[in-house]
Amino acid sequence: MAGMDEANVLDMVGGWSAEVLDMVGDWYAEVCRRTAQLVAGWQGLGFVHGVLNTDNMSILGLTIDYGPYGFMDRFDQHHVSNGSDDAARYCYSAQPAICRWNCERLAEVLGSIPNPAAAAAAAADADGAAAAAAAGGGGGASSSVLPPSRAKRGLQVFDEEMDAAYRSLFRRKLGLLAGPAEMAAGAKPAMPLENVQMLMMLAARDPAVLHALGVTQGSLQQQLAAHHAAAKWSSV
């Protein structure tokens, strides 16, 4: 679309229709998703960008403009790679929040762009506006190209992707290649918890009961520990 102005592009896609506005919302959510994946990768590698101004971020989710960057030799959540960052605004632990804040600023800019379709509907007389609303037209149109609801959804995508990508990366670093559900299934004990508790209660009264059943105190303790491990993985 090089060399085309806004009017030509909009003519090509049918103007600021509901479909185009949905595309803007989807595009913003994708920018948030890629940004979250990017910063999750930084956190996993101990990479500190150093200067995360909004103009140093890419909508493609790429690492750019990282002049004063650095990698941590040892873990320090307050590590700063930029010698001029006296307030530690861009320190290691602050990077996810700063990247999310930058996504919020992008939403503000998009939200400040008026939707011509909504402006036209607002300019119509009362009868015309009512007729348009009855026909499912411009009466309900968003006043901007990125309504607050779509901006909020984009930031939710950031939060969800950041959490998922960060957990996945650190599971791989720790050799936990399976996800929490698989780990919980693998840790599932052979004996139901109720049976373990009942046998432990009986053994407290008469230790000979376990011998008669071919069960040992050690095996019961192992089963109890397995239940605790399964519960822990299920809560991850």
What six digits make up the tokens of 160? 């969800």
* Residue 70 β-bridge partners: 48
Q: How many CB atoms lie within 10 A of CB 173?
A: 10
Active site residue 11: no
Nearest to 156 by CA among 29, 35, 61: 29
Residues 40-78: b if buried by 16+ CB within 10 A, e if exposed: bebbeeebbbbbbeeebbeeebeeeebeeebeeeeeeee
Classified as helix, coil or strand, 140 is helix
CB 49 within 8 A of CB 95: yes
* Residue 63 β-bridge partners: 57
CA 31, 39, 106, 161: dihedral to nearest 10 degrees?
Answer: 50
Kind and range of the H or E run holding 134: helix 126-134
Choice among 5, 55, 73, 125 that is catalytic: 55
End-to-end Cα separation, the chain, in angstroms: 46
- Residues annotated as catalytic (active site), given as ranges: 55
